[in-house]
Amino acid sequence: MAEAAIADCYEDAAQSVKVQITDEGFDEIVKGSRTNLTHNAKCIRYCIMRKNGLLNNDNSIDKENILQIFQIIHPQIEKDLLLNVLQKCSQEADKQANNCERAFVTSSCILQELSEDGVTDI
């Protein structure tokens, strides 16, 4: 799964820094670590998010795709709540210049905001 997710995945728009899998980064992803990730784990997460359509071509949050995915796997989460979370997290993610950091901030923010709103089964 991870190897397919990072195939032809680069950290930068110039495609000069290809994402590689390190043992440590892979372990963090497999274990579902959510905080204090290595740069490599953040980049693997970025690649997975890109390959699954969670980020647009400019690496902004693809709110429509995320909404569709959440409606399938977490239908208990109200659409308006999720839209508010995505808007807030989009603003936080847009502050990040590095694609790997942007993906990390995006996923962390979504999980944190939903948790604060009482959604804990994700």
pLDDT-derived band at 9, boundaries 50, 70, 90: confident
CATH number of the domain where residue 45 is located: 1.10.238.20
CB 52 within 8 A of CB 89: no
Q: Which of 24-28, 34-38, 98-102 has the lowest mean pLDDT?
A: 24-28
Structure-model confidence comparison of residues 65 and 48, the more confident one: 65
Instruction: Answer whether residue 121 is part of any domain.
Output: no
CB 99 within 8 A of CB 11: yes
Residue found under tokens 């709103």: 117
pLDDT-derived band at 4, boundaries 50, 70, 90: low
Instruction: Answer whether residue 65 is part of any domain.
Output: yes
Instruction: Answer whether residue 12 is part of any domain.
Output: yes
Give the pLDDT confidence score for residue 116 in this predicted structure.
92
For the chain, how many structural domains are there in total?
1
Q: What range does the domain containing 94 cover? A: 2-116
pTM of the model: 0.81
pLDDT-derived band at 114, boundaries 50, 70, 90: very high
